[in-house]
Amino acid sequence: EIVMTQSPATLSVSPGERATLSCRASQSVGTRLAWYQQKPGQAPRLLIYAVSTRATGVPARFSGSGSEADFTLTIGSLQSEDSAVYYCQQYNNWPPWTFGQGTKVEIK
């Protein structure tokens, strides 16, 4: 099973500033890495897939990068509505699909 490790657990950022979230896999997942956003009381929403491709309707301030086992989600200019928990997920080696434990982004 591939273990996904996210850091930090919580990130506090001022509006307009950049937020950088990290995700590390215990072994290479190639480019099969996705990011999801989850707001309180809501279902997860696909943000980014294939490391860097934004899903339909996702604002351009969200970007993904990385390869093999080290990945980054960047929120270029944080908006108040970006307050959420963000999860990475590998979909290269299955079963099981595995998720990181999440990074909570808070607005200062």
Partner 1 sequence: EVHLVESGGDLVKPGGSLRLSCAASGFIFSDYNMNWVRQAPGKGLEWVSSIGSSSDYTSYADSVKGRFTISRDNAKNLLSLQMTSLRDDDTAVYYCAKYSRGSCLTCPLDFWGQGTLVTVSS
Cα(1)–Cα(103) distance, integer angstroms: 21
23-42 residues in contact with partner 1 (CB under 8 A) are 32, 34, 36, 42
Of residues 24, 45, 54, 61, which one binds partner 1 by CB under 8 A?
A: 45
Residue carrying structure tokens 């990945």: 71
Task: Establish if 22 lies at the interface with partner 1 (CB under 8 A).
Answer: no
Nearest residue to 61 via CA among 77, 47, 40: 77
Shortest separation between residue 73's beta carbon and partner 1, angstroms: 14
Task: Establish if 55 lies at the interface with partner 1 (CB under 8 A).
Answer: yes
Q: What is the DSSP letter of 108?
A: -
Judged on CB neighbours under 10 Å (0-12, 13-18, 19+), 15 is: exposed
Cα(75)–Cα(3) distance, integer angstroms: 24
Of residues 92, 105, 106, 108, which one binds partner 1 by CB under 8 A?
A: 92
Interface segment toward partner 1; rule CB under 8 A; list 13-21, 63-71, 74-82, 83-91: 83-91
In the complex, the residues that contact partner 1 under the rule CB under 8 A are 32, 34, 36, 42-46, 49-50, 55, 87, 89, 91-92, 94-102
